[in-house]
A = this chain, B = another copy of it.
Amino acid sequence: MTKIVEHFINGEIVADDNSRYQDVFNPATGEVSKQVAIASKATVEQAIGAAEAAFPAWRNTSPAKRTQVMFRLKTLLEEHSETICNMISDEHGKVHHDAMGELTRAIENVEFACGAPQFLKGEHSKNVGTNIDSWSEFQALGVVAGITPFNFPAMVPFWMWPLAVVCGNTFVLKPSEKTPSASLFMAQLALEAGLPPGVLNVVNGDKEAVDTLLQDPRVQAVSFVGSTPIAEYIYTTGTAHGKRVQALGGAKNHAILMPDAALDNAVPAIMGAAYGSCGERCMALPLVVAVGDEVADALIEELKIELAKMKIGPGRDNSNDMGPLITKAHYDKVKGYVDLGVEEGATLVVDGRDTVVEGYENGYFLGGCLFDHVTPEMKIYKDEIFGPVLGIVRVKTQQEAMELINNHEYGNGTCIFTRDGESARYFTDNIKVGMVGVNVPLPVPVSYHSFGGWKRSLFGDLSMYGPDGVRFWTRRKTITQRWPSASLREGTSFSFPNS
């Protein structure tokens, strides 16, 4: 019998009455491994209702007590890391060690959440006027929601819910229906860690679930990570329904390779960033802009050597470097982009299209592809391919490289490889991108900073997790207080008050 991934509402696994289900595949084998329930509007409303019911008590629980759950959850996640990473490998396809990297990042967000008593502090002002004090409180919003993508089944949900919950909110999570198992399992661990039923609920589903979350007036805030068209839809729909929304979209991250870059550092960095997780990361590196032909030629020679060594195969085998793509449809799409790149006139230096993994002939494996002479007019330059396809663009100056980046639709991540302090500083100052690396190819901010791109990579004003996350998941309240005194009386003032 096929395993079924249901919903998790009010601390219990809940099956949907309407019985819509969708296949979950193992991308390494191409086989259906499970079925996932697709929530009806009623089921999502049930989850919202559970969250609403859990809110008053949880909101009144002291931050220090809320963090106790997070401390325990960290320990449980570490204890069950193998199980979680296997779930991820089996549904997403990424190699086990890569899943472990993702899980570590997830846990780091739990660690940050453990600091709630510190980061929830308001600002207290004595004597804003004579004997008048004023302070701010950052109060919980109520029921909030997160909608997350397939490519980080553990990490992205954990960018959202631990912080939201430790701020006093109650949560409805809708993970990707392609990779649903980890979220469900981790929510059960949270319950085990002491999170009261209803504080975190998980519903699997599709557009019906999403729209319910966006429209239900009880949902106060929505956090989203996915592609730009959907992010834009989420943002405009959610805000039109009076919610606060942060919606993170697509990316096309460029690295600039300067002539003085340390190639022996840059090459492995680029390899990992371009092909790790099959390029299915919003912080992946699909483009390298080489400044000068000399460094471009040298880079390509090195990459050819490295690509020849790169080991492709199922994620459960930890000796592999890269696993399969997520679905057959996505495999076809990425392969189509490689075909298109050839048509558009780019030089396909390494062609991974014929890759077959022995014993996994039905898996969605595509070998690493490398294009040289990519130009800004090409679709393979403009579009987010989300596959193991790296393009080299050749330019003459750092300035030219930066203009390319600044003119691109997306502004998620970027990197410069250089040894020179001034190059790095000019780059970080003037590049129109939210997350910037200097010799760091995947400049994902650590959990105590915040994640967010610029331009069409982020809709909203606050980035995700870290300090901005705290601000997103709370509502500011400002209290101004004075106490009347028997000995201190004032006349009426019809003027606008000032201290």
A residues apposed to B, CB below 8 Å? 60, 62-65, 67, 71, 74-75, 95, 97-98, 100-102, 104-105, 108, 111-112, 114-115, 117-137, 139, 155, 221, 232, 235-236, 239-240, 242, 244, 261-262, 264-269, 271-272, 275-277, 281, 306, 310, 321-322, 418-422, 424-425, 428-429, 433-440, 442-452, 454, 456, 459-463, 467-468, 471-472, 475-486, 489-499
Contacts and interface: CB of A to CB of B under 8 A. Distances in A.
A424 B481 contact: yes
- The A interface is mostly helix, strand or loop, or mixed, namely mixed
Given A120-B126, A497-B101, A134 B445 contact: yes
A429 B421 CA distance: 16
Contact of A101 (B100, B101, B268, B498): B498
B123 A117 contact: no
Given A115-B115, A480-B440, A480-B443, A499 B62 contact: yes
Contacts of A104: 496, 498
A483 B422 contact: yes
8 contacts: A64-B108, A71-B74, A101-B498, A128-B449, A271-B492, A424-B481, A428-B481, A433-B477
A468 B462 contact: no
A499 B65 contact: yes
Given A105-B498, A121-B123, A236-B240, 13 more contacts: A63-B126, A64-B108, A67-B111, A114-B115, A115-B115, A121-B125, A128-B449, A272-B493, A322-B494, A419-B422, A439-B481, A452-B476, A462-B462
Contact of A435 (B240, B421, B478): B478
Copies of this chain in the oligomer:
4
Given A117-B446, A495-B97, A467 B421 contact: no
Contacts of A101: 495-498
Give the top 7 A-B pairs by smallest Cβ distance, nearest first: A101-B496, A268-B492, A422-B483, A262-B484, A265-B484, A101-B495, A438-B481
A408 to B, nearest CB: 15
A416 B179 CA distance: 51
Contact of A496 (B281, B421, B462): B281
A356 to B, nearest CB: 20
Given A124-B121, A124-B124, A443-B479, A494 B98 contact: yes
A130 B66 CA distance: 12
A215 B102 CA distance: 39
Contacts of A468: 471, 476
Contact of A136 (B444, B449, B492): B449
Contacts of A271: 492, 494
A448 B302 CA distance: 47
A434 B478 contact: yes
Contacts of A463: 476, 478
Contacts of A239: 235-236, 239, 459
Contact of A461 (B74, B235, B450, B471): B471
Contact of A477 (B436, B481, B486): B436
Contact of A494 (B128, B276, B451, B459): B276
A373 to B, nearest CB: 24
